[in-house]
Amino acid sequence: MSGNIKLLSDTLAAAKAEGRSALIAYLPAGFPTVDGGIKAAKAVFDGGADVVEIGLPHSDPVLDGPVIQTADDIALRGGVKIADVMRTVREAHQATGKPVLVMTYWNPIDRYGIERFTAELAEAGGAGCILPDLPVQESATWREHADKHGLATVFVVAPSSKDARLAEITAAGSGFVYAASLMGVTGTRESVGEQAQDLVRRTKATTGLPVCVGLGVSNAEQAAEVARFADGVIVGSAFVKLLLAADGDLAAGLAGVRSLAGELAEGVRKHS
């Protein structure tokens, strides 16, 4: 069974053909529960997200700020397993026909086994993996298995990345490039800023892959700002915040994330 890297590429290309950025939503698996997380992924798609990233909860998520750390903690205490992550990918993709990726730190894949992980992700209909802490120079075995199973390998670049390093990272990646808009961890910000625009410009000089910006976008205005220069706008903490604020009222949380996805989807269409 082959994964859905082509669906991911086609989705990003279709957004570009419409003259807009793609909206990419992030949600952790198993939060607030496994079933609730699946419903949340479907809700953001219903609201207008083009792509969803499903986070594999980790006890030490170095890239993630306090909001996502809190959600990961809830998921881990609930006993979330890699099988639940795969189920979330499968059900979100099957319900919508849209591309679903997994975002994970390297350690869980290493323990689980690269071949097993890539085979199961492809079988679930996954489009690929975002690997924020896997060094490019140590990624050959992963990429070989990901390519074999039709999965994208999305690497993260940061404002601190020098041009030569950007070229090395983008040459190894596939699907798209995840541009972290600022130094630091995920979370909502007042402004996403010029650092992100400069990083996108420098990254695009090295690759034909779409460059999508994450870290800090939380509302339609910021989405429109980023959409002016990026191929995709990635939003995570703002969705997770709404589910946390719902405090166990899943229906209210789902309504909130669906509504926010709608506002953000409007935002990425307003930049032109």
- Tokens found for residue 67: 């909001």
Instruction: Name the residue type at position 118.
Output: T
Question: Catalytic residues, which ones?
Answer: 53, 64
DSSP 68-133: HHHHHHHHHHTT--HHHHHHHHHHHHHHH---EEEE--HHHHHHH-HHHHHHHHHHTT--EEE-TT
Alpha-carbon distance of 211 to 111, in angstroms, equals 30
Other Cβ atoms within 10 Å of 196 Cβ, number:
25
Of the candidates 143, 116, 140, which has an alpha carbon nearest to the alpha carbon of residue 128? 143
The Cα–Cα gap between 83 and 89 comes to 10
d(CA 248, CA 144): 42
Strands (E), 171-258: 177-180, 211-214, 232-235
> What are the strands, taking DSSP E only, across the chain?
22-28, 51-55, 100-103, 128-130, 152-154, 156-157, 177-180, 211-214, 232-235
